[in-house]
Amino acid sequence: MKIQPVKGTRDFYPPQMAVRNFIVDGWKASSIRNGFVEYDGPIFEHLQMYQVKSGDEIVEQLFNFTDRGGRHLAIRPEITPTLARMVNKQINALPRPIKWFSVPRLCRAERPQKGRLREFFQWNIDIIGVEDVLADAEVVYCSLDYLRSVGLTSGDVVAKISSRRLLAALLKNIGIAEDKLESLYPILDKKTRIPVEAFVEMLGKEIDSTDTVQTVLKLMDVHLVDEIPDIVKLNEEAKVSLDELIQVFAYLRTMGVEDWCRFDMSIVRGLAYYTGMVFEIHDKAGDLRAVCGGGRYDNLLSDFGGPKVTATGMGMGDAVLEILLREKGLLRDDSLDIQKLDYFVACLDADLLDKAVNITAQLREKGHASNFSYKTGALKKQMKVADSMNAAKCIILGAEFKDSKQLVVKDMQTGEQELLDAESLFKS
């Protein structure tokens, strides 16, 4: 019986693994460059933990099961709840600010589509314990810093930034009850992904007043913060949150990424736990799902039984990112090294195979990536093998060097050969 991989998952053969490593290594480098340290957690957690954050409806979106002890568990669909649990556990011992990053493998029981898989990798960065919106700006900056490092420009992607706090204040100011906001946010979050008629219809089911619906539509189309007071009168809460957002943009200007960013009131982020700045990074053509998204979530730790500590962060999935990088010509399979060796030991004589194995072992002991062919043969074939393994240098063992203490070392790039003393080679 031929068994196929599960739909929405991927097999990582060496070429695909090289792509994954290219992305993940870049994520980690950007995290470290921006002062974050790495953490991780278990691949599954108690199901209740995700219900606390997202409600009972989340169960249908998870791969969940009951173990032999009768515990209801779920394979992690995200790592933020794990982060909250871990930080709460050691909250009094952890130095602040907490700047952590992780690259977990995640699973969601969703319908696979372009840029969305059931199993994927996601880069998460979080800053905990900083009230200043400078932390929000740094999360946006770090995300852009990575995208810039792989060759994307402000002409390719844009960071769309808004504020959940500002939006909540404005909505309440036009007569929408606070207990309506949680059900309204997921609808507003769909604005750019569904036809206008369908969006207006969904709003009409949640908002009784036609005039209020029209005001919401105007707010969703705002791209300049100066236009907001012309649409909705600002109360004190709205003024404070607007000032915070203006300060975020000021910090991003100081960081040198102002050209990558713009205000966009339609960025809502469907999850209710966001409390301040929210953002998403999109390809400028608008053909793909968001490359990443995040924002401030000041209540998450307390929701999981911990103290009320401020936090902000983001997540970037590998699926949409890979599509974008390929479309921009920044990721090509032929540009990635599947394997890279310092030395390949070519053995032309079967009687010298033991010597080839011994030399390879000594090179490995010294920290050099080294390999050899399991079959001896003609030099031309051996050179092809060395080239296929992307070896920097090739040590050639022929019958004339059977008892010699010197080795023929060929530079695979220049083609030049030299005789080197074996002992000096192993000392390096």
pTM passes above 0.95 = no
pLDDT at 402: 61
Name which of 225, 263, 240 is nearest 168 in CA terms. 240
Where does the chain hold its CATH 3.30.930.10 domain(s)? Answer: 14-41+79-333
List the 72-75 sheet strands across, edge first. Answer: 44-46, 72-75, 64-66
Q: Contact at 8 Å (CB) between 60 and 109?
A: yes
Q: Contact at 8 Å (CB) between 78 and 123?
A: no
Q: Contact at 8 Å (CB) between 136 and 295?
A: yes
Q: In this structure, which CATH number among 3.40.50.800, 3.50.30.50, 3.40.50.300, 3.50.50.60 belongs to the domain 339-427? A: 3.40.50.800
Look up residue 200 and give its DSSP letter.
Answer: H
Q: In this structure, which CATH number among 3.30.930.10, 2.30.110.10, 2.40.50.140, 1.10.230.10 belongs to the domain 14-41+79-333? A: 3.30.930.10
Name which of 7, 3, 24, 18 is nearest 340 in CA terms. 18
Where does the chain hold its CATH 3.40.50.800 domain(s)? Answer: 339-427
Spatial separation of the C-alpha atoms in residues 351 and 402, rounded to whole Å: 8
Spatial separation of the C-alpha atoms in residues 232 and 216, rounded to whole Å: 10
pLDDT tens by residue, the chain, 428 residues = 899 999 999 999 999 999 999 999 999 999 999 999 999 999 999 999 888 877 677 778 899 999 999 999 999 999 999 999 999 999 999 999 999 999 999 999 988 888 889 999 999 999 999 999 999 999 999 999 999 999 999 999 999 999 999 998 998 888 888 888 888 888 888 888 888 888 888 888 888 888 888 988 888 888 888 889 888 888 899 999 999 999 999 999 999 999 999 999 889 886 667 899 999 999 998 889 999 999 999 988 998 889 999 999 999 999 999 999 999 999 998 888 889 999 999 999 898 999 999 999 999 999 999 999 998 888 899 999 999 999 999 999 987 666 667 889 999 999 999 888 878 887 76
